[in-house]
Amino acid sequence: MRLFKKCQSDTIEEARRYVSNAKDTLRKHGHLEEDGTAYRDRKYVRAAGNYLWLGVLIALDVVFHVSEGRRTRPDINDYREAVSDRDKKLLSLVNIGYETIHLSMNYDGNQSKAVCDEGFRLSKEIIDRCERMVS
């Protein structure tokens, strides 16, 4: 059992590394506009959103094992179904995170600093909640 807990802890740390990579990407390459309200380059916002969402999925998989034993790639509804059975607050965070991190940042490349800040906040909150569930 101790080995399993260690492995879960390592995976949560891996999820946090993705968040750290997202921060580094925006800090090094995102370049805020002079007024500080938006990033200049959509490409790096998309990259950061991708890192954040992957970190969230890694943390969710530690708790819910959605990807295990599947022949096809899980989609958001698979995660929603797994989470809804156990934690309604986390389900709400996942739904909002999906819209903010995956769709707005990753797909749309929304350059608003406020949207990006919210994406970072949500990813941290989801990962922290998953960590508490495996502790």
pLDDT digits (tens, 9 = 90+) for 55-106: 999 999 999 999 888 888 899 999 999 999 899 999 999 999 999 999 999 9
Residue 111 pLDDT: 97
Q: How far apart are CA 41 and CA 80, in angstroms?
A: 31
Share of the chain above pLDDT 90, in %: 85
Structural domain including 105 reads: 2-134
**Per-position b or e across 107-119, b if 16+ CB within 10 A of its CB:** eebbbebebbebb
**Spatial CA neighbour of 93 closest among 52, 135, 33, 50:** 52
Q: What is residue 135's predicted lDDT score, i.e. its pLDDT?
A: 80
Domain count, the chain: 1
Predicted TM-score of the model (pTM): 0.92
Q: Any bridge partners for residue 112, and if so which?
A: 38
Instruction: Burial-class residue 51 by CB neighbours within 10 Å (0-12, 13-18, 19+).
Output: buried
CATH number of the domain bearing residue 84: 1.20.120.330
What pLDDT digit, counting tens, does each position of 14-58 carry? 999 999 999 999 999 999 999 999 999 999 999 999 999 999 999
CA separation for the pair 57, 94 (Å, rounded): 10
Task: Give me the residues paired with residue 38 across strands.
Answer: 112
From CA 77, how far away is CA 46, in angstroms rounded?
Answer: 22
